[in-house]
Amino acid sequence: MANVILYSLHCPKCNILEKKLTSNNIAYVVDDDVEGFNSRGIIEVPTLEVDGQRMDYVVANQWVNGHKRVDEFEQENTK
C-alpha cells in the first residue's frame, strides 16, 4: 500500500483533492503544519506526496482519477 500524504491548508482545492482521495478509497493522512511545509520545501498547497514523490494539484488530480502507482503514471506521461 502506498504512503500518501496530503499537504493541505483546507482551501477549496485542498478540499476537492481530499474528497477525491476519500471517494476513491485511497488511504491518506493530512499534514496541515505550515512550519513543516517550509522545512520540507513545500511552497504550494495542495501537494500530494505518494511514496516520497510530490505532485502539484493538477498532477495529483490526474493520479487520483487514474489511481495508478506513481511510477506507472510518470512513465505514461513522459512518453
**What does the domain layout of the chain look like in residue ranges?**
4-77
- Cα 58 from Cα 33, distance rounded (Å): 22
User: Does domain 4-77 correspond to CATH entry 3.40.50.970?
Assistant: no
Q: List pLDDT tens digits, range 41-61.
A: 999 999 999 999 999 999 999
- The alpha carbon of residue 59 and the mean position of all alpha carbons in its chain are separated, in whole angstroms, by 8
Sign of CA dihedral 56, 59, 63, 69: negative
Residue 27: count of CB within 10 angstroms of its CB: 10
3-state secondary structure of 1: coil
Q: Helix or strand or coil: residue 33?
A: coil
Q: Which tens digit of pLDDT belongs to each residue from 1-30? A: 689 999 999 999 999 999 999 998 999 999
Predicted TM-score (pTM) of this structure: 0.81
